[in-house]
């Protein structure tokens, strides 16, 4: 008998997939049994029958069997002899309320421990499923979190016997919300007949499982009810769809119509690929053909891809990056390394890879380096990664495949922590500010990180590439926003992932966050419509990241359906509390903590308030570190305290950098040209709060607003237009200290005439409010400390109304500027200004 090498080693998890003997291992499985007890009382066929079955399974092209009872030693040996791996379900009384009785829990734990012990780390064992399909009503009765914890406990029992054993549990749509942390991969039993619904559910499952491999634990169809022809069609299409969606494997239910369950032989169904007598059906040949091609079903076409790597002093990880790019499983691609003026040994490393196109330039920043790579690229698609990343072997294949199948012009994917990275890097992974993707749906992204993204070259040219103003970061956010403003969609490929090395020291992490803060200031200047009043980004989708963007105060909720009978029972996770995270921000420290601490020196009654405020800031960081999902293998005794420290430092460092750049006058272009520069006109006129115009030629309000937006852009004004939630049309950021809101309305008259009204309302900006209150707090602090010695210090309180007067004057100046600019644009549209006259 031939021995197949594929069964000799032990598999391990590798990102979204498995590796076996150094190579990727995709599961091509079928379920096997259970059968009526043999003469040994085992729920397996006789050794002779099993040998024949395993020979047939090898003809099928299967490499894995899912069995529902713990196999005896002779079955394991036969599987090894035939090059087959086994996914072993460990049966126990999961259909009972097991969390209500300690005896049932003890029995389940002993059963799992005994099963792993009996298998003895046999090389034919692929993994253990510690439980299969816990009834949804049992979960509802016992509580989601308690059931998850018990599943994790069973996994610990298994790994306590064999620490290298892979473990999972088999879920299904009614319990898709169960997310135990200890499992190595996710297995779902899915029976859906419509291909579109099946593909949509796979996309949903990929969102649910995140960074773990997804295995289709059961899927199949009944020949008796569906007919063999439709069964073949469904098996072929769904097998292909699963592998294209990035599944790590599929397991067809089942090998044969021979099935023994519940103490009796099942006669009224025919899910098998073979008959009861093991005669191959047409569906056997269908799966055989599919498994012969899987996992690499051909793409519609293979467009050439140019992989651009921009690097500045990235020698530490550059070799691993270029090594991974050299072994990509894609037929036509090129690698372009753009050295952005590195001073380390980047050139020396690049010389080891003659197939890589090496381009060197002076240090001009990340965006210019990427534009250089795009300009030199000959591919139809441009893919980007960083020198601190290494790509999965099939990165391009999945990235391009998902790009071609969807109505997308751009694509992105996951970035995972490499298993060899440090424990400090693992703490950085779960700390704020890391690269994250933002999803609008299970398939469409609002933002993808620059370390893993790709675009059609013509689409990048359409938006004129990357903006050179972004030297360190923010270029990917800017590109994604401009991309969508042009009407292009960005997809997401869950299987097209890269490994991303995180910063390995606290100093390097804070330096990175400082750069991100500078990038945020530039993004705020260029895209104010995407930011809140406090400078925080406004995302319409859901942020997916290993780090917490806010502490969670409430528990997730599950929609169970009427009386817990829902087939698709979805988990609704609560939004993080961003309000509490504000307590860790630079603004909170400067406006609340520091003034309270300072005032409490003289006003001792404020000391408890100051203490509570400061403890709240630290408390939020502590809660965040407790909720952080640290990789288990990277945890140290100092990991969570370090995460708490990073949660405290990151907002301060990033916020300070953001404000430093926002306050830098060179970072903000001044309005130029047109009516806004005529100070004489501004000061000689009365404050304009409303302007009215006749439209005799039919110019409508939307044409007027579009011309106003164009005029603001040409004049160098930063503006934010209505996103659908505002009570105004345009918000104009004319200076550092004020902003003007413009609201318009049209009165429709006869003969296609219109009467257009414009209302201008100016307000102080956030820096103005900050300066005003900071001055007031400073004055009060000085008075509280020294007024008893120097009574004249009370005079400094005049500084506050003086500053207020200056800010108010600036506000009115900006309101006049915008009003006069609107006047000028109205004149260009031949709108006649209407002056209301007061009646005596």
In whole angstroms, give the CA distance from residue 249 to residue 234. Answer: 17
The dihedrals phi and psi of 360, each to the nearest 5 degrees, come to -120, 140
pLDDT for residue 2: 34
- Architecture per CATH, domain 305-544, reads as Alpha-Beta Complex (3.90)
pLDDT, tens digit, 9 for 90 and up, residues 689-724: 888 988 876 678 888 888 888 888 777 777 877 766
Contacts of 834 (CB under 8 A, 6+ apart): 692, 693, 694, 755
CB 161 within 8 A of CB 177: no
Partners of 499 in beta bridges:
390, 416
pLDDT for residue 566: 59
**The pTM is what?**
0.80
Structure tokens that stand for 574 in this block: 């609560």
Instruction: Please name which of 192, 184, 194 lies closest in space to residue 215, comparing C-alpha atoms.
Output: 184
Pairing of strands 754-764, 738-748: antiparallel
Place of tokens 């196109």: 357
What is the 3-state secondary structure of 686-728? CCCCEEEEEECCCCCHHHHHHHHHHHHHHCCCEEEECCCCCCC
In whole angstroms, give the CA distance from residue 701 to residue 694. Answer: 11
pLDDT for residue 296: 95
Cis peptide bond prior to 34, omega within 30° of 0: yes
The fold for domain 5-293 equals: TIM Barrel (3.20.20)
Q: Beta-carbon neighbour count of residue 327 at 10 Å? A: 8
Place of tokens 């609560």: 574
Contacts of 147 (CB under 8 A, 6+ apart): 99, 134, 138, 139, 178
| Crossing angle (nearest 10°) for helices 282-293 and 47-60 | 60
Q: Beta-carbon neighbour count of residue 589 at 10 Å? A: 20
Where in the chain are the domains?
A: 5-293, 305-544, 572-667, 674-834
Q: Beta-carbon neighbour count of residue 95 at 10 Å? A: 10
In whole angstroms, give the CA distance from residue 647 to residue 136. Answer: 38
In whole angstroms, give the CA distance from residue 167 to residue 313. Answer: 41
Low-confidence ranges of the chain (pLDDT < 50): 1-6, 665-684, 838-840
CB 365 within 8 A of CB 468: yes
């Amino acid at each position: 008998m031939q021995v197949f090498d594929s069964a000799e080693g032990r598999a391990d998890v590798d990102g979204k997939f498995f590796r076996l003997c150094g190579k990727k291992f995709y599961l091509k499985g079928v379920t096997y049994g259970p059968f009526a007890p043999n003469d040994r009382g085992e729920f397996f066929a006789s050794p002779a029958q099993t040998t024949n079955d395993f020979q047939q399974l090898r003809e099928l092209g299967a490499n894995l069997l899912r069995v529902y009872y713990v196999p005896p030693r002779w079955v394991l040996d036969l599987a090894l002899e035939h090059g087959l791996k086994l996914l072993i379900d460990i049966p126990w009384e999961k259909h009972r309320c097991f969390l209500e009785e300690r005896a049932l829990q003890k029995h389940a734990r002993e059963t799992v421990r005994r099963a792993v012990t009996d298998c003895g780390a046999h090389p034919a064992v692929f993994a253990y499923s510690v439980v299969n399909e816990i009834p949804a009503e049992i979960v509802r009765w016992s509580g989601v979190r308690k059931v998850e914890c018990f599943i994790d406990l069973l996994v610990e029992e298994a790994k306590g016997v064999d620490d290298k054993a892979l473990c999972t549990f088999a879920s299904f749509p009614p319990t898709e919300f169960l997310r135990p942390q200890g499992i190595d991969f996710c297995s779902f039993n899915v029976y859906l007949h419509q291909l579109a619904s099946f593909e949509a559910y796979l996309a949903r499952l990929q969102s649910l499982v995140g960074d773990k491999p997804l295995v289709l634990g059961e899927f199949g169809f009944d020949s008796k009810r569906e007919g063999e022809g439709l069964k073949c069609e469904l098996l072929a299409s769904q097998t292909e769809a699963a592998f294209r969606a990035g599944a790590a494997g599929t397991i067809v239910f089942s090998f044969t119509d021979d099935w023994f369950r519940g103490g009796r032989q099942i006669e009224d169904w025919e899910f098998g690929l073979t008959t009861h007598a093991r005669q191959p059906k047409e569906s056997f040949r269908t799966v055989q053909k599919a498994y012969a091609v899987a996992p690499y079903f051909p793409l519609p076409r293979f467009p050439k891809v140019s992989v651009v790597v921009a690097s500045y002093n990235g020698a530490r990880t550059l070799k691993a990056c270029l090594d991974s790019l050299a072994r990509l499983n894609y037929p036509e691609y090129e690698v372009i390394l753009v050295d952005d003026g590195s001073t380390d040994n980047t050139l020396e490393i690049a010389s080891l890879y003659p197939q890589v196109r090496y381009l060197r330039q002076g240090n001009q920043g990340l965006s210019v380096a990427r534009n250089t790579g795009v300009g030199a690229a000959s591919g139809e698609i441009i893919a980007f990664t960083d020198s601190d990343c290494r790509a999965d072997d099939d990165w391009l294949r999945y990235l391009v495949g998902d790009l071609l199948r969807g109505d997308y012009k751009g694509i992105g994917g996951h970035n995972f922590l490499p298993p060899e990275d440090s424990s400090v890097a693992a703490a950085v992974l779960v700390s704020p500010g890391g690269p994250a993707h933002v999803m609008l749906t299970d398939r469409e992204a609002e933002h993808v990180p620059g370390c893993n993204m790709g675009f059609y070259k013509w689409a990048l040219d359409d938006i004129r590439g990357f903006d050179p103003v972004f030297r360190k970061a923010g270029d990917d956010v800017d590109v994604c926003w401009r991309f969508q403003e042009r009407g292009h969609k960005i997809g997401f490929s869950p299987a097209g992932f890269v490994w991303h090395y995180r910063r390995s020291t606290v100093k390097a992490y804070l330096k990175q966050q400082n750069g991100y803060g500078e990038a945020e200031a530039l993004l705020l200047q260029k895209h104010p419509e995407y930011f809140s009043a406090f400078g925080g980004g406004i995302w319409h989708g859901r942020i997916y990241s290993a780090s917490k963007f806010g502490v969670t105060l409430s528990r997730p909720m599950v929609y169970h359906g009427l009386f817990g009978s829902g087939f698709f029972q979805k988990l609704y996770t609560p939004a993080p509390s961003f309000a509490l995270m504000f307590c860790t921000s630079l603004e909170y420290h400067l406006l609340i903590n520091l003034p309270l601490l300072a005032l409490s020196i003289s006003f001792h009654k404020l000391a408890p308030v100051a203490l509570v405020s400061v403890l709240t800031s630290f408390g939020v960081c502590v809660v965040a570190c407790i909720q952080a999902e640290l990789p288990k293998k990277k945890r140290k005794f100092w990991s969570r305290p370090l995460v708490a420290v990073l949660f405290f430092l990151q907002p301060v460092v990033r916020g300070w950098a953001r404000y430093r750049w926002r306050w830098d006058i060179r970072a903000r272009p001044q309005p130029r040209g047109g009516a806004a520069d005529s100070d004489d006109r501004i000061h000689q006129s009365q404050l304009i709060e409303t302007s009215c115009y006749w439209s005799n030629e039919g110019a409508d309000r939307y044409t007027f607003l579009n011309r106003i937006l164009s005029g603001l852009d040409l004049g160098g004004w930063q503006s934010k237009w209505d996103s659908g939630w505002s009570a105004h049309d345009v918000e104009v950021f004319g200076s550092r200290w004020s902003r003007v809101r413009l609201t318009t309305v049209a009165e429709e008259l006869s003969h296609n005439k219109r009467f257009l009204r414009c209302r201008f309302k100016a307000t102080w900006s956030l820096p103005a409010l900050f300066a005003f209150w900071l001055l007031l707090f400073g004055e009060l602090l000085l008075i509280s400390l020294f007024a008893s010695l120097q009574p004249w210090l009370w005079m400094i309180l005049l500084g506050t109304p003086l500053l207020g007067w200056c800010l108010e004057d600036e506000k009115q100046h900006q309101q006049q500027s915008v009003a006069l600019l609107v006047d000028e644009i109205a004149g260009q549209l031949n709108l006649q200004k209407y002056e209301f006259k007061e009646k005596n």
